[in-house]
Amino acid sequence: MTAPAEKTNLLGLPKAKLEAFFETLGEKRFRAQQVLQWIHQRGVDDFDQMTNMSVALRERLKEIAEIRGPEVVYDETSKDGTRKWVMRMDNGNNVETVLIPDGERGTLCVSSQIGCSLDCTFCSTGKRGFNRNLTAAEIIGQVWVARKAFMPYEPSSRPITNVVMMGMGEPLLNFDNVVDAMNLMMEDLAYGISKRRVTLSTSGVVPALDRLGEVTDVSLAISLHAPNDELRNQLVPLNKKYPISELLAATRRYLARLPDKRKATIEYTVIQGVNDKLEHAKELAVVLKGLPCKINLIPFNPFPESDFERPSMNATRRFQNALTEAGYVTTVRTPRGDDIDAACGQLVGRVEDRTKRSQRYIAVQQVNP
C-alpha cells in the first residue's frame, strides 16, 4: 500500500509561491489573493469557510492541501501586558514567541530555529544546542497564532505592529524560510507590516547578510555585544569566522542598498565585569564611527547554567551616558514579563522540563499503579 501524499501546508507560502500552486491546479492566480486573506487576515484554517471559492475547488484543496499552524502549549500574560507563548511544532519541538505591547506599538519576537548552533556564551538558547530549522509555515505560524489570539478585533486596532526576528535561532542560517515568512509579514493581503517595522537580528553571518540585501529591505539589528574581536570571540564564537570589521562593512553595504535612510540597531548585552566598563563604551563609540546606527543596551538576564551576572543599573547608565555623549542614540531595554519567566529563551526549557516531568510521572504511574 502506498502512503498518502503529504499535503501542502498553505500557511507558509508567500504570494508568488501560492500563485504558482494555484496555477499547477489550473486555477487563476487571483485565487492566491483570496486564500492569503482568508488565512492571514481572517485566521481561517478550514477550506469550507472560504465561501468565495467553488465547492469543487474547496474539495480539491481539502484533498491536497492544509492550513496547519503550531499548537499552543503555554500562553500567559504578564502583569505588564507582555504575552508569552510556547508553541509546539512538528516532531514535538517547542519554540518561544513573545508579544511586547508598548503604547500604540505591539512588538512580536519570533523564533527562526529550534535551538541554535552558534553557542553564544551568554545565551540560554545556545546552551541547548541546535535541533533544526523551522519551516516558513512554522515561522509565520507564530505571527498567525499571535494575531488570532486577538480576534475578533476592530481593523483599526492592531495588536501586532512590529515583528523582530530575534527569538530562538540565527535567522540568516535559515535563509529561505525566514525570507518567505518575512515576505508574508509585509504582504498587504496578509499582515501588511511595513518593511521598517520588520527587523531581522543577526549575530553576523556575513555572506548571508550580503545575500539578504539582494532579496529584501527589512530593517536590520546586529548582535554585537563587544567592542573588539578578542572579547567578541569569547562571547560570540561566530566572530572568529566573521570579525567585527567584516560584519560592520557588510552592515554598511546592507544599509547603502536601502531606498531610505534607515539606521541599523546595534544590540549590546551588558554583562557585569565582562563588557560593561567605561573603556568598552569608549571603544564601541570609536568602532561604530560613521555607521548609521542606534544602540540598544540589554542588561544581561541571568539563567541557571550561566556564569555571568546582570550589571548594576549604575554601570549600565554610565555605559549609556558615555555613548550618548559620543553622539549615539542609546536606549536601555527594560526587562519585560519578568513575573512569568526569567531570561529570554528559558521559557521553553521550563515548559519542556515540566512536560518531561509529567511524562516521567505518567511512566512511573504505569510501572507502579
Nearer to ligand SF4, 198 or 285 (CB): 198
Rounded to a whole number of angstroms, the minimum distance from the CB of residue 235 to ligand SF4 is: 9
Is residue 76 annotated as involved in ligand binding? no
Annotate 38-73 with three-state secondary structure. HHHHCCCCCHHHCCCCCHHHHHHHHHHEECCCCEEE
Nearer to ligand SF4, 50 or 168 (CB): 168
Is residue 327 annotated as involved in ligand binding? no
Q: In this structure, what are the phi and psi dihedrals at residue 248, rounded to the nearest 5 degrees?
A: -70, -30
Nearer to ligand SF4, 11 or 238 (CB): 238
- Rounded (10°) angle between helices 244-257 and 206-215: 0
Catalytic hit among 96, 138, 187, 267: 96
How do beta strands 105-109 and 130-133 pair? unpaired
Is residue 223 annotated as involved in ligand binding? yes
Residues making contact with ligand SF4 (CB under 6 A)? 116, 118-120, 123, 125-126, 168-170, 203, 223
Structure-block grid coordinates of residue 314? 549604575
Is residue 293 annotated as involved in ligand binding? no
Rounded to a whole number of angstroms, the minimum distance from the CB of residue 203 to ligand SF4 is: 4
Give the containing element (helix H, strand E) for 113. strand 113-115
At which residue does the C-alpha cell 491546479 appear? 25
At which residue does the C-alpha cell 545565551 appear? 123
Nearer to ligand SF4, 130 or 150 (CB): 130
Active-site residue, 71 included: no
Rounded to a whole number of angstroms, the minimum distance from the CB of residue 25 to ligand SF4 is: 39
For 319, other C-beta atoms within 10 Å of its C-beta total 26
In sign, the C-alpha dihedral spanning 276, 280, 285, 287 is negative
Is residue 109 annotated as involved in ligand binding? no
Catalytic hit among 109, 187, 293, 344: 344
Rounded to a whole number of angstroms, the minimum distance from the CB of residue 206 to ligand SF4 is: 14
Give the containing element (helix H, strand E) for 23. helix 15-24
Active-site residue, 109 included: no
Q: Shortest Cβ contact with ligand SF4: which residue?
A: 126
Nearer to ligand SF4, 146 or 224 (CB): 224
121: left (phi over 0), alpha (psi -120 to 50) or beta: alpha
Is residue 169 annotated as involved in ligand binding? yes
Is residue 224 annotated as involved in ligand binding? yes
Structure-block grid coordinates of residue 277? 566598563
Rounded to a whole number of angstroms, the minimum distance from the CB of residue 164 to ligand SF4 is: 12
Rounded to a whole number of angstroms, the minimum distance from the CB of residue 84 to ligand SF4 is: 17
Nearer to ligand SF4, 207 or 327 (CB): 207
Rounded to whole angstroms, how far apart are CA atoms 238 and 247? 11
In sign, the C-alpha dihedral spanning 286, 165, 14, 9 is positive
327: left (phi over 0), alpha (psi -120 to 50) or beta: left
Known binding-site positions for [4Fe-4S] cluster: 116, 120, 123
Known binding-site positions: 116, 120, 123, 169-170, 201, 223-225, 301
Known binding-site positions for S-adenosyl-L-methionine: 169-170, 201, 223-225, 301
- Catalytic residue set: 96, 344
